[in-house]
Amino acid sequence: MSTRKVKAPTSRYNGRCDNDGRPDASRTVTDLDVTILEPSDPLPALPTASRDDRHTAPGKRRRHRILTLLEEDPTRLWQPRDIAAHFGDVTLETMYRQLNRWTASGIIHKLGPGLYAATAWSPTPLRDLRKP
């Protein structure tokens, strides 16, 4: 192990301090001590139930249940918090991610900031839930 030194005396880079504890010349490593430390916190427990629903019947999957909910009232603009309120097994952050993913895939439509619907357009005016 050794440190790099500036070879040219007119270099624009500062030279290394001699008192930094590193060797000035190359030295062969002849000994190495390794200490293995135990983790201070135990690993978190694994969940008892999987949230992966690929092996669940299609009618019981979250996406199918949400699409059914959106199609029940196609003229309604749904907000993620309203959809998440119908399903207790999903957080609001997860709902936003899933709705954005499904929008990008074309499964549902985003009609405004935080407003989702099953259809892109309807001849009847869409009811906005943000307005009282």
State residue 68's pLDDT score: 87
| 125 within domain boundaries | no
Which residue did the predictor score with more confidence, 72 or 87?
Answer: 72
State residue 67's pLDDT score: 86
Q: How far apart are CA 22 and CA 119, in angstroms?
A: 68
Q: Note the Cα 126 to chain centre separation in Å.
A: 32
State in Å, rounded, how far the first CA of the chain is from the last one. 72
| 69 within domain boundaries | yes
pLDDT digits (tens, 9 = 90+) for 31-77: 889 999 887 777 777 766 666 767 778 777 888 888 888 888 877 88
| 79 within domain boundaries | yes
Query: Residue 63 burial by CB count (10 A; 0-12/13-18/19+): exposed, middle or buried?
Result: middle
pTM for this model (two decimals): 0.49
Q: Note the Cα 103 to chain centre separation in Å.
A: 17
| 112 within domain boundaries | yes
| 111 within domain boundaries | yes
State residue 123's pLDDT score: 46
Identify the weakest region by mean pLDDT among 71-80, 100-109, 118-127: 118-127
| 53 within domain boundaries | no
Number of domains in the chain: 1
State residue 35's pLDDT score: 92
Domain extent, residue 95, equals: 61-117
Q: How far apart are CA 20 and CA 10, in angstroms?
A: 22
| 84 within domain boundaries | yes
* Residue 81 belongs to domain with CATH number: 1.10.10
| 37 within domain boundaries | no
State residue 105's pLDDT score: 86
Amino acid at the residue 60: K
